Amino acid sequence: MSLAPEILARLTAIVGDARVKTDADSLKTWGCDWTKIYTPAPTAIVFPSTIEQVRDIVLLANEAKLALVPSGGRTGLSAGAVAASGEVVVSFDYMNKILEFVPEDRMVRIQAGVVTEQLQNFADDNDLYYPVDFASAGSSQLGGNIGTNAGGIKVIKYGMTRNWVLGLKVVTGRGDILELNKDMVKNATGYDFRHLFIGAEGTLGFVVEATMKLERKPRDLRVLVLGTPDFASVMHVLATFQKRLDLTAFEFFSELSTQIVTEHQGIPRPFETQAPFYALLEFEALSEAMADDAMALFEQCVEQGWVLDGVMSQNETQAKNLWRLREDISETIARYTPYKNDISVIIQRVPAFIADIDAIVSAQYPDFRVVWFGHIGDGNLHLNILKPDALPKEDFFAKCKRVNTQVFETVQKYGGSVSAEHGVGMTKKPYIGYTRSEAEIAYMKAVKQVFDPNNVMNPGKLIDL
């Protein structure tokens, strides 16, 4: 499939000859994300550098019935940025500038292609903090983070991306340029369309600029890694520490993930004792008394039998190495072509929920290795099934897909979400009914038709019209 020459010429007229790519390598590179299920097959990649160019691309798409797919850092895990059906990919790589900093309001206006780490570093240089953080921060872009309402490792204290978006500038599927909320904290003037575009995965329009809120820097962060005899003990540890400390993170991971990460990344084990599960806690030790409180809580958990062993960081280097046990998991297991599920329930239901899911996985995949990890402090679990080397990818994904119904029926039973933070894209679209009611989906489709009546914005993702 290829674009008609006259359409290619008009795209070139909008962005310039050097900003349209149709060679095979470019189509493959910009037509995919981190998912490996779908084969990228775009017809062209365009690289706008201004809002007006994005608008003109959208207007052309409406006229010529082109399908457009937004492309940021391409780190998504639900195929939300995969162009598998001849779409034109709109990359925001050249819209990557920090436009304005307003220190009085602790806010910064950026273009959609700004990389997450770029914003984090800018905040740090100005003695402030952008707290939304995850393993792909070095390559993910803010437009994509907003499109999926990205979460990460600090949600227990700081919340999702949604919490940090003060204002948006978007190009809708009609080609209108809208400025949403005008960066205000207080704006009680009716519908806040900003929140429709956050998490919409580019299906209503493209985010082209965002104004992001910043925070004070955390101080004197300490990290604990605690080994637990079972998953129920992880939850006891969470409850115990939250009663006394304001945690900035609470993560968990399994022994298998620890073995894989330490083997492939050269990171030392946190301690000699092996445990089925590990909890990683982070908090601000603003005084020695708070550090002493943490140690007392640790000893209390040992006495109760909830913790087998543990370690607390004594310096920044040790803290970073402890964090790598958790943050390096996704990168390390990528070599095993994992089948991923990103699911969530309220914290109260986590122990029973994970027991049910674990029973399904153990019964259906007795020969597969399963890596559990996640942001347990906000009820988000990552289930990763590793592909055996000898099993072809297609056969492996087919086996995993057959059990999805059981997994998502369990999610529905506990009132949870089939996608906690990675979005829906194409991989979760068949299962959205396990989280959203028929009435909700009907309203979502109606909203889509208002903003994108010709279905040119990332069609085939999230919902079908």
The verdict on residue 446 lying in a domain is no
Give yes or no for residue 334 having a pLDDT over 90.
no
Amino acid sitting at position 57: I
Kindly state whether residues 37 and 133 are assigned to the same domain: no
The verdict on residue 386 lying in a domain is yes
Kindly state whether residues 321 and 346 are assigned to the same domain: no
Kindly state whether residues 80 and 178 are assigned to the same domain: no
Number of folded domains that form the chain: 4
Give the domain range for residue 427. Answer: 337-438
Angle formed at CA 441 by CA 151 and CA 405, multiple of 5 degrees: 70
Angle formed at CA 110 by CA 106 and CA 114, multiple of 5 degrees: 120
Kindly state whether residues 347 and 434 are assigned to the same domain: yes
Q: How many CB atoms lie within 10 A of CB 236?
A: 18
Render pLDDT for 65-89 as a digit per residue (tens, 0 to 9).
999 999 999 988 899 999 999 999 9
The CATH number of residue 411's host domain is 3.30.70.2740
Q: Return the closest-CA partner of residue 277 out of 237, 230, 336, 212.
A: 230
Render pLDDT for 267-290 as a digit per residue (tens, 0 to 9).
999 999 999 999 999 999 999 999
How does DSSP assign 352-379, residue by residue? HHHHHHHHHHHHH-TTSEEEEEEEGGGT
Render pLDDT for 121-146 as a digit per residue (tens, 0 to 9).
999 999 999 999 988 899 999 999 99
Contact 333, 386 (CB under 8 A): yes
Mean pLDDT of 244-251: 95
Kindly state whether residues 51 and 104 are assigned to the same domain: no
| Cα dihedral across residues 309, 315, 321, 322: positive or negative | positive
> Which of the pair, 164 or 381, is modelled with greater confidence?
164
Contact 224, 312 (CB under 8 A): yes
> Which of the pair, 367 or 110, is modelled with greater confidence?
110
Q: How many CB atoms lie within 10 A of CB 129?
A: 17
Amino acid sitting at position 71: S
pLDDT for 339 equals 87
The CATH number of residue 30's host domain is 3.30.43.10
Cβ-based neighbours of 149, under 8 Å, separated by 6 or more:
160, 161, 162, 198, 199, 421, 423
Give yes or no for residue 36 having a pLDDT over 80.
no
Confidence of residue 404 (pLDDT cuts 50, 70, 90): confident
Amino acid sitting at position 184: M
Give yes or no for residue 118 having a pLDDT over 90.
yes
Number of helices (H) and strands (E) in the chain: give both, helices first. 15, 16
Kindly state whether residues 79 and 182 are assigned to the same domain: no
Kindly state whether residues 367 and 425 are assigned to the same domain: yes
The verdict on residue 454 lying in a domain is no
Give yes or no for residue 157 having a pLDDT over 90.
yes
> What are the two backbone dihedrals, phi and then psi, of residue 293, each rounded to the nearest 5 degrees?
-60, -40
Which of 304, 330, 356 lies at the terminal end of a domain, its last residue? 330
Mean pLDDT of 349-353: 91
pLDDT for 306 equals 98
Give yes or no for residue 1 having a pLDDT over 80.
no
Contact 109, 164 (CB under 8 A): no
Render pLDDT for 431-463 as a digit per residue (tens, 0 to 9).
999 999 999 999 999 999 999 999 999 999 999
Could you tell me the two tokens for 208?
């082209």
Kindly state whether residues 365 and 416 are assigned to the same domain: yes
Kindly state whether residues 308 and 228 are assigned to the same domain: yes
Contact 368, 386 (CB under 8 A): yes
Kindly state whether residues 129 and 146 are assigned to the same domain: yes
pLDDT for 340 equals 85
The verdict on residue 205 lying in a domain is yes
The verdict on residue 259 lying in a domain is yes
Mean pLDDT of 322-343: 91
Instruction: State CA 381 to chain mean position distance.
Output: 13
Can you tell me the distance from the alpha carbon of 404 to that of 418, in angstroms, rounded to the nearest whole number?
A: 10
What's the pTM? 0.93
The verdict on residue 463 lying in a domain is no
Kindly state whether residues 47 and 115 are assigned to the same domain: no
pLDDT for 402 equals 85
Which of 91, 123, 153 lies at the terminal end of a domain, its last residue? 91
Which of 29, 57, 91 lies at the terminal end of a domain, its last residue? 91
Can you tell me the distance from the alpha carbon of 378 to that of 361, in angstroms, rounded to the nearest whole number?
A: 22
Kindly report the average pLDDT of the chain as a whole number: 95
Amino acid sitting at position 413: K
Give yes or no for residue 206 having a pLDDT over 80.
yes
Confidence of residue 163 (pLDDT cuts 50, 70, 90): very high
Kindly state whether residues 228 and 308 are assigned to the same domain: yes
pLDDT for 25 equals 96
Confidence of residue 397 (pLDDT cuts 50, 70, 90): confident
Share of the chain above pLDDT 90, in %: 85
Can you tell me the distance from the alpha carbon of 316 to that of 143, in angstroms, rounded to the nearest whole number?
A: 31
The CATH number of residue 253's host domain is 3.30.70.2190
Share of the chain above pLDDT 70, in %: 100
pLDDT for 35 equals 83
